[in-house]
Chains A and B, each alone.
Chain A
């Protein structure tokens, strides 16, 4: 985009009432973890030698990953309500889900309804990608060839859709499907950031595979950045 085009683009957005682009707010924060986390479990991949061969030592299960600073990874944070009636442009680029070493990467991620999901098999073994969506069409694709790529989209928003591989029962991933771009997943710092948010009052949801769902209400003003922390409690 040239500068001129950018200006024009923003002007058009402005005309349509998306003043947020000019005075974007943000929500940032952390997913804190307290209590006892289960000991990370090593996955036995002996059932498929092709999988076992991909790892020097058995990889750890990603269901609960607690960072050294007691924050929690793989928490899906998203704007649950407050954006009703607004529409947002769909990104042209696809989101990638990779099957590598018989694990899904990323383990938890978000996508827009209607956005392309590119599923890659980087392994020299058969995987099948079976989603258990209820709002969108369920699919179950066989991916026998290494390097094979398939593209799929989800029609309707849903929190969260589980992906599983029936060939390798340990493999699973979760995907949050939304009609807007305001979501984030905590990583090894346990933080998240939802940027470019128009001013307003929002319910923010935080989902974790083991520790369930939490919600908080936040009001974000013009150009304001609000901090919200979620606290997850282990056993």
Chain B
């Protein structure tokens, strides 16, 4: 039996096991620490340091290169020489320094004594005042005497101090005179090498050394590491983590280190600077980094510091693959606020920019918004911001006076078959309703709608066309009167505000078109079509021209057969929604064929929401049929039905797909006809769909507090109200205004025929004149064939427009008429003289002759005093090109010089005033007078 051990365990074995576990624990500890400390972002920061150092070194080389080495050498040599000189004066300088020091000691002594006496003096003054107050005259007198004596001593000390100061200054100057040269050269050298020196320090800082190695070492990096997470805390913004909201923290700058520095414009990603530092991130840009952060525009997970968890979104599949390889990227499936891909980034602007017609610098978003308006998305969907948008489709309240029922049927089959450029979408015979059964239903519903519309409309009285118009003249009128300011016709395609004037002969009757042209509001009060004040002849010519063109193919399209049983089935479907089957059958029996057609027509209009765009009798205030889109940009992706369409599971992909193929998500689904998707086909191009997707993404749940959003002041609000009206009535269809060139210019060959540019109109014309002009336009430029239409603006709109023009020009509308009178009799005499010499009347005729090129003429100056602002007239005379480049009005005072040295001392400014003042006295009689002269043979 082995001797029993007194211990319960083996010492040696225990030691071995203990050491093994200790080693394992230690190794895992080290591994843990190392793993924890090795972070993706640190690698980027090290790389960025390297890049910055390389840049700094390059800068250093450049700075050193810039130093004029020859000059530097010369200064060095000079300094050595000066130093030599200095040596010979060393003794002298020594003495001077010693004397200076002695003076300084003396100065200090005198100063101390001075301070001491001053204190004593203050003390005596106090007692003197006290004793005098207590009427202890004796004591007071003693103090007064002491003060007197001391004051004398103080004065002496003051003089002494002055002397010492002067002496010290003299000594210092003497020393400077001897050694100053060296100091001066030192300064000069420092100045030359200053820039390089600064960069050198920077390079040193960026060079890793043992100190940074220690500071960044694992376990020690809590002290003061040089590599650390960088973050921006955006005050006032919060990120939503579903159960809690936390302040927005953006750590993107941990890796995107050069994002706000112009020096990194060409650096590789992620160090590359933001491409628009003028707009974003820079402290002096409208969106400084500290205030806006990164994710407020880009989206993504701001607090994350790894490539994947930051929720980067690739631009396309290629980039996704590249990222998978490079950064082991995968999609953050459950993070709802992924970064916006760059092609949709403008959607973010709308977070803060609300209530404006356009957002500056966001063309795609603006285009999307514009399309949502012109294609009337808001007709079916409630969309915030579109509440007061205008009616987009033609009103159908009197449609029986305009259209034939058969035409409506053919049109509804496929609107683009008649007019490819129409904004009316196709509602029937789409991808999910093309099977034979659905096709039968489509045809029945179309017949029903056409029947309903004709039956439920009131006739309007139409005028007969007086005589036969001449189509050739009509064509000329269409091209020169102003129709092209809104409509396209033939090869003249400048505007698509109104429908393209195409094949109207297949669509409407002459009486209707004639009456419509003469007075559009008589047919439909809500129309945007203005009154061009056409004469009967003009309207007849235009009517004959527009009706000349027919689409015979469209006219001969066979009307689809409508099966009575399909009508009955459809009617039964609608009836059984609210009735039991027997009741429904009973109800159906009471209806004759016409009633049934009308009934399904009405129901089809409700089903398709036609009233969203068109005014239809019986549908006033009907509810929109589509989903509200006001917060669609924040809609949870899992709530979107992707059906069986193989696309990315993102909002943008879904929106894009829906816009391109609105019925596509029905593919592969089993649905009855009336359960199917209803959104019509607009045939958007990819660009349009992308712009609209950007717009939809911009419709987010409000996350930015009101005070952080762009707030419009009163002026800006006025301008936006005006911009809205300008868009509604298509001012820029003809006029150059507010940064947009008049679109119709593209189809006018002669610049003299352009409708006027009205930028700066608020500075140019008097507000009350503008108000009346907009209400009842009158002829200002008789040579222009383009006619300003009468829009029939309400008082409210007229005021808004006048205010808009004023605010746009930075003016406050001044409604009181300015009295303009000449400064002196000399001015009064000079006015007509200059007017005559400059031959103003030559172009500004009061009664223009026909037959001259349009550019020959200028407005009648008799109008000036009631139309123009006096300050503007003076500015205009000074330099017309500056106010309107390309104008026919020549400069009579080039470079501020007058060609008439004998009038008012040749002073251009005074001559301009004299002419302007004369215009305020210029009437018909004066004009007739002035006209006679140049006409005399």
Nearest to B751 among chain A residues (CB) is: A132
| Residues A144 and B856 in contact in the complex (CB < 8 Å), given A49-B934, A49-B936 | no
Checking B839, B843, B888, B900 against A140 with a beta-carbon cut-off of 8 angstroms, the contacting residue is B888
| Residues A49 and B880 in contact in the complex (CB < 8 Å), given A144-B899, A150-B894 | no
Nearest to B858 among chain A residues (CB) is: A166
Q: Mark B891-932, 1 if CB is under 8 A from A, else 0.
A: 110100001100000000000000000000000000000000
Q: Is the interface of A mostly helix, strand, loop or mixed?
A: loop
Q: How large is the interface on B (under 10, 10 to 19, 20 to 34, 35 or more residues)?
A: 20 to 34
Nearest to B889 among chain A residues (CB) is: A140
Checking A142, A150, A169 against B853 with a beta-carbon cut-off of 8 angstroms, the contacting residue is A169
Give the shortest distance, in Å, between B773 (CB) and chain A (any CB).
25
Give me 25 A-to-B residue pairs in the complex whose CB atoms sit less than 8 angstroms apart, sorted by A's number: A47-B849, A49-B934, A49-B936, A125-B839, A126-B839, A126-B842, A128-B888, A130-B888, A139-B881, A139-B891, A140-B887, A140-B888, A141-B894, A143-B890, A143-B899, A144-B837, A145-B837, A145-B900, A148-B899, A166-B843, A166-B855, A167-B842, A167-B843, A169-B853, A169-B856
Give the shortest distance, in Å, between A97 (CB) and chain B (any CB).
15
| Residues A142 and B934 in contact in the complex (CB < 8 Å), given A167-B842, A167-B843 | no
Contact B899–A140 (Cβ < 8 Å) = no
Give the shortest distance, in Å, between A162 (CB) and chain B (any CB).
12
Give the shortest distance, in Å, between A54 (CB) and chain B (any CB).
14
Decide yes or no whether B937 CB sits under 8 A from chain A: yes
Contact B852–A169 (Cβ < 8 Å) = yes
Q: Which residues of B contact A50 (CB under 8 A)?
A: 934
Decide yes or no whether A138 CB sits under 8 A from chain B: yes
- Nearest first, the 8 closest Cβ-Cβ pairs linking A and B are A142-B890, A128-B890, A126-B839, A169-B853, A142-B892, A166-B888, A144-B838, A140-B890
Decide yes or no whether B885 CB sits under 8 A from chain A: yes
Decide yes or no whether B886 CB sits under 8 A from chain A: yes
Q: How far is the CA of A143 from the CA of B899 in the complex (A)?
A: 8
Decide yes or no whether B491 CB sits under 8 A from chain A: no
Contact B888–A47 (Cβ < 8 Å) = no
Nearest to A137 among chain B residues (CB) is: B881
Contact A142–B891 (Cβ < 8 Å) = yes
Q: Which of A13-54 contact B (CB under 8 A)?
A: 47-50
Contact A169–B855 (Cβ < 8 Å) = yes
| Residues A145 and B881 in contact in the complex (CB < 8 Å), given A126-B842, A130-B888 | no
Q: How far is the CA of A143 from the CA of B894 in the complex (A)?
A: 10
Contact A140–B852 (Cβ < 8 Å) = no
Contact A140–B935 (Cβ < 8 Å) = no
Interface residues of B (CB under 8 A from A): 752, 837-839, 842-843, 849, 852-853, 855-856, 880-881, 885-892, 894, 899-900, 934-937
Q: Which residues of A contact B842 (CB under 8 A)?
A: 48, 125-126, 167
Q: How far is the CA of A138 from the CA of B885 in the complex (A)?
A: 8
Q: Is the interface of B mostly helix, strand, loop or mixed?
A: loop
Give the shortest distance, in Å, between B838 (CB) and chain A (any CB).
5
Q: How far is the CA of A48 from the CA of B933 in the complex (A)?
A: 12
Q: Which residues of A contact B900 (CB under 8 A)?
A: 145
Nearest to A166 among chain B residues (CB) is: B888
Give the shortest distance, in Å, between A131 (CB) and chain B (any CB).
11
Contact A145–B891 (Cβ < 8 Å) = no
Contact A126–B838 (Cβ < 8 Å) = yes
> How many residues in A have their beta carbons less than 8 Å from beta carbons of B?
22
Give the shortest distance, in Å, between B213 (CB) and chain A (any CB).
55
Contact A144–B839 (Cβ < 8 Å) = yes
Contact A138–B890 (Cβ < 8 Å) = no
Contact A166–B890 (Cβ < 8 Å) = yes
Most A CB contacts (10 A, CB to CB) among B880, B894, B935 go to B894
Checking A47, A143, A150 against B852 with a beta-carbon cut-off of 8 angstroms, the contacting residue is A47
Most A CB contacts (10 A, CB to CB) among B837, B839, B842, B890 go to B890
Contact B890–A130 (Cβ < 8 Å) = yes
Q: Which residues of A contact B892 (CB under 8 A)?
A: 141-142, 144
Nearest to B893 among chain A residues (CB) is: A142
Contact B856–A166 (Cβ < 8 Å) = yes
| Residues A167 and B856 in contact in the complex (CB < 8 Å), given A140-B891, A144-B899, A150-B894 | yes
Q: Which residues of B contact A167 (CB under 8 A)?
A: 842-843, 856
**Given contact pairs A138-B886, A140-B888, a sample of 5 additional A-B residue pairs in the complex whose CB atoms are under 8 Å apart:** A47-B852, A47-B856, A48-B842, A139-B891, A140-B881
Give the shortest distance, in Å, between A55 (CB) and chain B (any CB).
15
Q: How far is the CA of A49 from the CA of B931 in the complex (A)?
A: 13
Q: Which residues of A contact B888 (CB under 8 A)?
A: 128, 130, 140, 166
Nearest to B843 among chain A residues (CB) is: A167
Nearest to B895 among chain A residues (CB) is: A150
Q: Which residues of B contact A47 (CB under 8 A)?
A: 849, 852, 856
Q: Which residues of B contact A129 (CB under 8 A)?
A: 890
Q: Mark A182-208, 1 if CB is under 8 A from B, else 0.
A: 000000000000000000000000000
Q: How far is the CA of A141 from the CA of B891 in the complex (A)?
A: 5
Q: Which residues of A contact B891 (CB under 8 A)?
A: 139-142
Contact B838–A49 (Cβ < 8 Å) = no
Give the shortest distance, in Å, between B378 (CB) and chain A (any CB).
43
Q: Which residues of B contact A125 (CB under 8 A)?
A: 839, 842, 934
Q: Which residues of A contact B886 (CB under 8 A)?
A: 138
Nearest to B839 among chain A residues (CB) is: A126
Contact B852–A49 (Cβ < 8 Å) = no
Q: Which residues of A contact B881 (CB under 8 A)?
A: 138-140
Q: Which of A91-149 contact B (CB under 8 A)?
A: 125-126, 128-130, 138-145, 148
Q: Which residues of B contact A143 (CB under 8 A)?
A: 890, 899
Q: Which residues of B contact A128 (CB under 8 A)?
A: 888, 890
Contact B935–A142 (Cβ < 8 Å) = no
Contact A145–B936 (Cβ < 8 Å) = no
Nearest to B887 among chain A residues (CB) is: A140
Give the shortest distance, in Å, between B803 (CB) and chain A (any CB).
33
Q: Which residues of B contact A126 (CB under 8 A)?
A: 838-839, 842
